[in-house]
Structure 1
Amino acid sequence: HKIQPHGHSSLVPTPLTYQILSWVMIGQFVLGLPLNLSVLYIFIFRYKFWKNKSIFLFNIVVADFLLVVCLPVKAYHYLQGERHSPNEAVCKIMLFMLFLNRGASIAFLITLSLDRYFNVVHLGRRNCVKVLKKTPQISVVIWLLLLPLTIPTMVHTFNCCNSHGRVNETYLSNVMDTVREVVFFTQIIIPFIILVFCTVRIVNRLRRKTVGDKTKLQRAVCVVLSVIFVFSICFLPCAIARAVLLFVRIIEIQSAEDIMVQVYDSLMVLSYIDCLLDPLVYCFCNTGFKNAYISSFCPPFLKEKLLSADFGKEAATTATSTTTNSGGRIVSIPTTVK
């Protein structure tokens, strides 16, 4: 039998590191709870997301809120010197929630980016994503499709990324570990490739546009760049760290594994900051939401300045037009429809 390494036990290798991480998560919770509650309030009571075709954005808010709710439990175990709960049921529920919320956040962010891509690069063609946005049941279907991808965290006993090289590892546990790792990396790598593709195509479209207003294209670029920023900060670093951790675990270098366990857990804690960064995406995606949020929560002097600047841009956008001669008549065609 193998000796149980530190990375495979519930106890942390370095208590001080995890105490610091626990306070970081407490800070994320203190900032994230009021922020996400205020965003939920705006979407439901002020902006009425179901009337403004913002159902996908609302689902991202729900995923972020569920993530924020999980943070105190995770922070508590870190303060106790444990990488996860010693209670198997609590451990599985926490991992299930974290995997589900992460998958939902990524899925809806990618959907928003694809919507911007079709609106800009394939303007005039039928946008299937826009059609899906008008159907609330699609959001339910996406959540249900994410459940099978999260089931591997519930099928077999496992402890916080204990994949390949566990004590008394069986063929079934080895298969389940492989499935879970494939799901984890697929959920990050494939969406990132899609994001890069959408960004390159939208930027190229912006460069080729020589006449007319570019506001819509620039806003689309801001949306996909903000999503890439969230991915680069929250998801890619922990995916790279997880790959390195699995490698050193398989080749059984105990000292390197203890270090990589701490690096991986630290980057996972960093990834929880997406519940604070996602509101940036809301602002770039939806001017109506941004104006409703500013009107509700910003102080009067700042509110007037921000709203006047935004309305000034809107007026300039709607005022831009193209004049053409059609059958002897002069027709003014707005270049941007808000």
Structure 2
Amino acid sequence: MYRRLNMSSVNATIDHCDVPYKFTYQALSGIMIAEFVLGLPLNLSVLYVFIFRFKFWKNKSIFLFNIVVADFLLVACLPAKAYHYLHGERRSTDDLACKTMLFMLFLNRGASIAFLITLSIDRYFNVVHLGRRNFVKVLKKTPQISIFIWVLLLPLTIPTMLNTFECCNSHGREVETYYHDVTDTLREVVFFTQIIIPFVILVYCTVRIVNRLNKKTVGEKTKLRRAVWVVLSVLVVFSICFLPCTVARAVLLAVRLKKWQAAEDVAVQVYDSLMVLSYIDCLLDPVVYCFCNSGFKNAYVATFCPVSVQKRLITSESGQVSPTTTKTFSSPILEKKPEAEC
């Protein structure tokens, strides 16, 4: 009898991934489907331009191309995630599928953050420490560095693969053992540090670039304004896609450890909703590409926009330059100032 009661109390502390309110998750599944419908053609078009029209390997835009690859990892996960939400489950009942999904999402998030921050640091050195050797500019010319970043991100996903996580989110809900506690804590540390540390770096770079802009003369402000728009666009992506769900995650862990079940039901819905919101980074990243590299923007506009729009957008930026000036759609202005590119 005692054993039966004990097992009942243990089961009560384990989240079996049933959603608190099905209507909320059905709505979230609709949002993810919309993100998939919009994100798939957008990222396919961006990938086409990068490979066939802009030729990223010639224009030193390998880091931007890697962000496109990371976005595809995210877009590929959205249909399966939407399917489970639609059927009232926070994740797949199959442990392997659950871990695979979380692995893909962690890898996408880590890659997006790593390459976005790298671009911001590159722009920071180009503006604030102009004339000094920019190690980021040297590294981005080498494709092997991008491979190294991807390989370096893989160990960060190990905590998700060490143990079967209930709902892929077991911290504070498993039977307490040293192994579970260390594994779950390590995963939470990875989750928070990969957001907080890059955000601090991004804010620092933004403040320094803006201060540099305020101190420059009028003749030098055009390039600096472009640098400011680059780091601000990355800051917007962070503020919308990554920071809200990070704060919600901290609140969820707090109420879970306090065992406030009613508050946890609300916190779970808020956290999952903000995670769904974070998936729009696959829609916002192309804006970063346009601010970061005018050559890519010209190539994209020349490929997919009507001729009247091409003339209005490209001619207004580069004067008398047409979108077909060069084979790789990089304008002469950009070729004269390669430091303005990411």
State the partner residue of 1:257.
264
TM superposition score normalised by structure 1:
0.91
Determine helix, strand or coil for the equivalent of 1:239.
helix
State the partner residue of 1:56.
63
Residues 60-99 of structure 1: pairs in structure 2 closer than 5 A: 60-99=67-106
State the partner residue of 1:149.
156
State the partner residue of 1:181.
188
* Distance in 1 (alpha carbons) for counterparts of 2:215 and 2:187: 43
Count of residue correspondences: 323
* Distance in 2 (alpha carbons) for counterparts of 1:177 and 1:6: 16
* Distance in 1 (alpha carbons) for counterparts of 2:303 and 2:12: 52
Following superposition, the deviation at residue 300 of structure 1 comes to 2.2
2:253 to 227, 246, 250: 246
Q: 1:6 to 1:219 in 2, by over 3 A?
A: farther
Say if 1:8 and 1:166, in contact at 8 Å, map to a contact too. Answer: yes
TM superposition score normalised by structure 2:
0.90
* Distance in 2 (alpha carbons) for counterparts of 1:28 and 1:7: 31
Residues 284-295 of structure 1: pairs in structure 2 closer than 5 A: 284-295=291-302
Following superposition, the deviation at residue 159 of structure 1 comes to 2.8
Residue type of the partner of 2:102?
L
1:229 to 229, 236, 249: 236
> Which digits, 9 at most, give the CA deviation of each residue in 1:2-31, with x for residues without a partner?
454698222111100000000000000000
Say if 2:160 and 2:168, in contact at 8 Å, map to a contact too. Answer: no
Following superposition, the deviation at residue 209 of structure 1 comes to 0.6
State the partner residue of 1:115.
122
Determine helix, strand or coil for the equivalent of 1:214.
helix
Q: 1:130 to 1:27 in 2, by over 3 A?
A: same
Residue type of the partner of 2:159?
P
State the partner residue of 2:223.
216
> Which digits, 9 at most, give the CA deviation of each residue in 1:192-213, with x for residues without a partner?
0000000000001011112532
> Which digits, 9 at most, give the CA deviation of each residue in 1:121-151, with x for residues without a partner?
0000000000001100000000000000111
Q: 1:81 to 1:201 in 2, by over 3 A?
A: same
Please state if 1:9 is matched with 2:9.
Answer: no
* Distance in 1 (alpha carbons) for counterparts of 2:186 and 2:299: 43
Residue type of the partner of 1:299?
P
Residue type of the partner of 1:14?
Y
Following superposition, the deviation at residue 170 of structure 1 comes to 1.6
Residue type of the partner of 2:285?
D
Following superposition, the deviation at residue 335 of structure 1 comes to 9.5
Say if 1:13 and 1:258, in contact at 8 Å, map to a contact too. Answer: yes
State the partner residue of 1:28.
35
Q: 1:266 to 1:147 in 2, by over 3 A?
A: same
Moved over 6 A (4+): 334-338
Residue type of the partner of 2:283?
L
Say if 1:7 and 1:257, in contact at 8 Å, map to a contact too. Answer: no
Say if 1:84 and 1:159, in contact at 8 Å, map to a contact too. Answer: no
Q: 1:337 to 1:36 in 2, by over 3 A?
A: closer
Say if 1:7 and 1:258, in contact at 8 Å, map to a contact too. Answer: no
Moved more, 206-215 or 188-197: 206-215
Unaligned runs of 5+ in 1: 320-333
Say if 2:245 and 2:278, in contact at 8 Å, map to a contact too. Answer: yes
Q: 1:8 to 1:309 in 2, by over 3 A?
A: same
RMSD (Å) for aligned C-alpha atoms: 2.1
Following superposition, the deviation at residue 163 of structure 1 comes to 3.6
State the partner residue of 1:329.
none
Say if 1:216 and 1:336, in contact at 8 Å, map to a contact too. Answer: no
State the partner residue of 2:139.
132
Identity within the alignment, %: 72
Unaligned runs of 5+ in 2: 1-5, 323-330
